[in-house]
Amino acid sequence: MKKQSRIVSAALAALMLLPLLSGCAVFDYVFGSGTTAAPDDTSAPEVTRTPEVTTSPDTGTGAVSDVTTEEVTQPTAVTAEDTKPGPVIYYNDPLTGLRTPRNLAGVRPVAIIVDNLSAAAPQSGLSRADILIECMVESGISRLILITNKYESNEAYGPVRSARDYIVSLSQAFGTLLIGAGYSPTAYTVISESGMNYIDGVHDRYAMSGFFRDPERYSAAGYEHSLMISGQGIKALAAHNDYTLAASGVSVPFTFSDAPAIAGSDATHAVLTYSAYQQVQLIYSKKNNAYYRYQYGTKAHLDAETGEQLNFANVFILFAEQHKIPDDTEGRISVAVSGSGTGYFLTGGKYIPINWTRGEGLTSPFAFTTSDGGKFTVSRGKTFIAVVDSALKGTSSINLNYKLG
């Protein structure tokens, strides 16, 4: 009996070691400093020199149809009694147009302001974005706005950073609950005067019941690049502040289609040089009907939690007036995200010129038309929106079909 007891104890000890050993490898991968290339793309193109390879990744998901019910076969029952298959109801996700067994029309989306300095990459949770917006802040760097209606439980998002007034405005155009870490003086004015809901990781007295510091990010990149939040943390802080997570309906400025037919020009390799510091490339995969994102030249933009490279069915490039704020000691900028402007829409390896309009109200939605005022549809799936300085329009900084030399 003692011998059997020792054997059982040894087996249990071995089993307990397994997750520890495997956890080290995962930990090193997620927080390591190396860059992982996209699938089947071992030599990513660069902005600052002639690219050598234009191979696109071979992973992703395609469009999904508008089917709302579907017959499914039930699992084999333990008993001999037959079980008849029943219909499964599907709903259209208001943010992506993809079908889902959950009715998300009543879920209030969240918008999380995410750090996009190279020290913060790879960030957590970006692959969960249904809509990802990029805009510039001071010093030639960009910030990201992650919009999703699928914040679940323990998944992490971040690092979370501070708001700017135009970031607040962009988030509210999609009817979201905004989540950030502090604010600029102009953002504070907008937030306080409008009385809008804002989950703040710096000034909210309940902040640390929902936010947390990632010790590895804190050690590697510093305090300001380590603030994170989870899906459960979002729900907890919304409850503390009495912010509703329900929506009477979610409005987006898109009309989705399985296969949008845009009579445009080729757009298979878009290069967006926002500044000397931030350069983004979007390379189209025909196989997966998606644009895969690279930044800082050749680095595939990955999600630290999943290792997935960010990819999008739709890309909007919106030109907006940008100016430095006079007498701002931090060199902050203003970005005009209301009124009207021009831009481009990319999907399926093609692009068309577009116009955008938006009212002055904080929650006014965007409206998009073709350059001659017509309507167009977008592909089902995720959308990337780049807000670019209008001074770059017509320059070599914006190239929608980059060709190898």
What percentage of the chain has pLDDT greater than the value 90? Answer: 73
Query: Domain range spanning residue 319?
Result: 256-399
Q: Same domain, yes or no, for 235 and 110?
A: yes
Q: Minimal CA–CA distance to 292: which of 272, 270, 309?
A: 309
Q: What are the φ and ψ backbone dihedral angles of 119, each rounded to 5 degrees?
A: -65, -20
Q: Same domain, yes or no, for 324 and 207?
A: no
* pLDDT for 219 beyond 80: yes
Q: Same domain, yes or no, for 122 and 227?
A: yes
Of 67-71, 88-92, 133-137, 244-248, the poorest mean pLDDT is in: 67-71
Residues 154-189: tens digit of each pLDDT: 999 999 999 999 999 999 999 999 999 999 999 999
Predicted pLDDT of residue 263? 85
Predicted pLDDT of residue 227? 98
Average of per-residue pLDDT across 204-213: 95
Predicted pLDDT of residue 18? 36
Decide if 190 is inside a domain.
yes
Q: Minimal CA–CA distance to 237: which of 263, 264, 211?
A: 211
Q: Which among 179, 207, 240 is the end of a domain?
A: 240
3-class DSSP state for residue 170?
helix
Q: Same domain, yes or no, for 224 and 269?
A: no
Average of per-residue pLDDT across 362-373: 96
Predicted pLDDT of residue 298? 85
Q: Which among 209, 240, 271 is the end of a domain?
A: 240
Separation CA 380–CA 93 (nearest Å): 9
Q: Which among 215, 240, 265 is the end of a domain?
A: 240
Name the pLDDT band for 209 (thresholds 50, 70, 90): very high
Predicted pLDDT of residue 83? 60
Q: Same domain, yes or no, for 236 and 308?
A: no
Decide if 143 is inside a domain.
yes
Average of per-residue pLDDT across 332-356: 98
Predicted pLDDT of residue 2? 39
Helix (H) or strand (E) holding 355: strand 350-358
Q: Same domain, yes or no, for 114 and 225?
A: yes
Decide if 388 is inside a domain.
yes
Decide if 89 is inside a domain.
no
Which stretches of 190-326 are assigned E, i.e. beta strand? 198-200, 211-213, 227-230, 256-257, 265-266, 269-273, 279-285, 290-295, 299-300, 311-312, 314-320, 322-324
Name the pLDDT band for 84 (thresholds 50, 70, 90): low
| Average pLDDT across the chain, whole number | 84
Q: Minimal CA–CA distance to 398: which of 282, 265, 296?
A: 282
The residue ranking higher by pLDDT, 57 or 356, is 356
* pLDDT for 351 beyond 60: yes
Q: Same domain, yes or no, for 354 and 316?
A: yes
- Count CA atoms closer than 13 A to 216's CA, side-chain side: 14
Q: Same domain, yes or no, for 235 and 269?
A: no
Separation CA 309–CA 60 (nearest Å): 9
Predicted pLDDT of residue 32? 34
Q: Same domain, yes or no, for 228 and 197?
A: yes
Decide if 87 is inside a domain.
no
Residues 267-298: tens digit of each pLDDT: 999 999 999 999 999 999 999 999 999 998 78
* pLDDT for 4 beyond 80: no
Residues 94-140: tens digit of each pLDDT: 999 999 999 999 999 999 999 999 999 999 999 999 999 999 999 99
Predicted pLDDT of residue 13? 39
Predicted pLDDT of residue 262? 87
Q: Same domain, yes or no, for 232 and 267?
A: no
* pLDDT for 38 beyond 80: no
Bond into 159 cis (ω within 30): yes
Q: Same domain, yes or no, for 317 and 270?
A: yes
Separation CA 96–CA 106 (nearest Å): 15
* pLDDT for 12 beyond 60: no
Predicted pLDDT of residue 74? 38
The residue ranking higher by pLDDT, 156 or 65, is 156
What percentage of the chain has pLDDT greater than the value 70? Answer: 78
Number of domains in the chain: 2
Q: Same domain, yes or no, for 235 and 261?
A: no
* pLDDT for 46 beyond 50: no
Name the pLDDT band for 306 (thresholds 50, 70, 90): very high
* CATH, residue 159: 3.50.90.10
Decide if 31 is inside a domain.
no
Predicted pLDDT of residue 88? 83
Predicted pLDDT of residue 215? 97
Predicted pLDDT of residue 78? 46
Decide if 283 is inside a domain.
yes
Average of per-residue pLDDT across 210-216: 97
Predicted pLDDT of residue 87? 82
Decide if 248 is inside a domain.
no
